[in-house]
Amino acid sequence: MNKSELIKEYEGFRSLGLKLDMSRGKPSAEQVSTVEKLLTAVTSNAQCFSETGSDCRNYGGLDGINEMKRLFGELLGVGPEQIIVGGNSSLNLMYDTVARSMLHPVEDGCKPWSKYDRISFLCPVPGYDRHFAICEYFDINMINIPINDQGPDMDMIESLVASDETIKGVWCVPKYANPTGISYSDNTVRRFARLRPKAKDFRVFWDNAYVLHDLTDTPDEVLEIFSEAKKYGNEDMFFEFMSTSKITYPGSGISCIASSERNIKRILEALKIQTIGHDKMNQLRHSKIFHCYEDVAKQMRVHMNIIRPKFQAVYDAFAAAFEGIEGVSWTKPNGGYFITLTLPNGTAKRTVELCREAGLVITPAGAMFPYGIDPDDSKLRIAPTYPLLDEVKIAAKLLACCANIAICEKQA
Ligand SMILES: Cc1ncc(COP(=O)(O)O)c(C=O)c1O
């Protein structure tokens, strides 16, 4: 299509008075309705007891009920003794872990991170905006690390952490990363497992938010990090996170942190100051509908069947609209919640603007980069899960139309 045809198409979209939102990776109403049995998993006083007989309505159980620790252990491939069950948000646990590290030493003989003039985190990009927001909130300097189809640039990570003692952390989403959808290769996981950082209190934030969130029948497999790290005596270097936000309810699921037994002990020492325990009734409800890995896997297949057509609708719209357009590509991940659209440099922001004017909200260009700055202004994050399928079809066509207009304008 030439520019005037594109503008005509765009005006057609504008006249529809659309109100579409593809900005955040949220499960749809249909998805959250698939676990109605959770709402009635516990219906009487007699059912409020965990397997050890503890009363889940009452105080106690700082690390969570056994059933839930065992289930998370199974989902992540670690022992229950490596798990602390949290509240409804793993992001909350990540925030707390950074906050604790700012205020108290992460390791014996080290000082709290806040006692340094300046500390840095390595940030594989494009990445999850809320990871970067945590760093910004705590005034932690962020260093961009490029990602390829195997994971982050490990040469760069190895050399930076080996030489700079003020680098204290790295954000990782090892499976179906937000927003690229890539999964770490075995080699990448092993290189993380054997990192030799200069800082004794360097930590890897292994955010396994999409560990079970497959979109194909040939899912990616990622090595379990603690068994790899143990081979190098490095298991204390990892904090792993996950939640049931995109398994049951984002607003009322269960999260966990997994780490070495030594770290878990250390975290519990601090956690007991913070709370007497998280919501055990919700843990109990979850453990009553999910007894083992296969129960959760079954639920994930239900999600997959709802989500998959929405991803396909985006691929179809993009394939039709971008045929023969140079410098445009998009990811087709085997799982996760996002598609990353790469446009010619200098066109992403303008595309978002055009979308907004026509009633489609997408994630702001730059949001997937530290400080909101995409140096190339070329990446867009597409989150197709929340709208209805018919809405996704329209939104993807509109988005592609806007991108093509932005490309024409740039070339003019
Ligand atoms: C990589 C990643 N981590 C964490 C979260 C949020 O997790 P939670 O709902 O457990 O706080 C998200 C949500 O989009 C995410 O994409």
Q: Is 37 exposed, middle or buried (0-12, 13-18, 19+ CB in 10 A)?
A: exposed
The closest alpha carbon to 211, from 301, 67, 334, 336, belongs to: 336
Helix (H, G, I), strand (E, B), or coil: what is residue 129? helix
Q: For 90, how many CA atoms within 13 A lie in the half-sphere containing its CB?
A: 25
d(CA 311, CA 206): 26
Q: Under CATH, what is the fold of the domain 45-291?
A: Aspartate Aminotransferase; domain 2 (3.40.640)
Helix (H, G, I), strand (E, B), or coil: what is residue 51? coil
CA of 12 to the centre of ligand 1 (A): 36
d(CA 102, CA 149): 33
Does pTM top 0.75 for this prediction? yes
Ligand 1: which of 95, 134, 178 to mutate, judged by most atoms within 8 Å of the beta carbon?
178
Q: What is the H or E stretch that residue 238 is in?
A: strand 238-243
Residues of the chain falling short of pLDDT 50:
none
d(CA 349, CA 380): 9
Task: Count Cβ atoms below 10 Å from residue 406 Cβ, excluding itself.
Answer: 23
The closest alpha carbon to 393, from 4, 16, 8, belongs to: 16
CA of 344 to the centre of ligand 1 (A): 29
CA of 146 to the centre of ligand 1 (A): 21
pLDDT of residue 223: 98
pLDDT of residue 220: 98
* 159 contacts 209 by C-beta, under 8 angstroms: no
CA of 196 to the centre of ligand 1 (A): 28
Tokens of 115: 């006692």
Helix (H, G, I), strand (E, B), or coil: what is residue 153? coil
Pocket of ligand 1, beta carbon within 6 A: 25, 89-91, 128, 173, 178, 207, 209, 243, 245, 250, 255
Q: Is 229 exposed, middle or buried (0-12, 13-18, 19+ CB in 10 A)?
A: buried
d(CA 172, CA 395): 30
* 136 contacts 147 by C-beta, under 8 angstroms: no
211: Cβ contacts below 8 Å, ≥ 6 apart: 75, 76, 175, 222, 242
* 273 contacts 258 by C-beta, under 8 angstroms: no
d(CA 117, CA 299): 47
d(CA 258, CA 241): 6
Domain extents for the chain?
3-25+296-411, 45-291
Strand 360-362 to 339-342 pairing: unpaired
Q: N- to C-terminal Cα distance for the chain? A: 15
Q: Whose CA is nearest to atom 6 of ligand 1?
A: 91
Give CATH superfamily name and number for 3-25+296-411.
Aspartate Aminotransferase, domain 1 (3.90.1150.10)
Name the residue with tokens 């997937």. 368
φ, ψ dihedrals at 188, nearest 5°: -65, -45
Ligand 1: which of 22, 76, 89, 90 to mutate, judged by most atoms within 8 Å of the beta carbon?
90
CA of 326 to the centre of ligand 1 (A): 33
The closest alpha carbon to 219, from 308, 129, 316, belongs to: 308
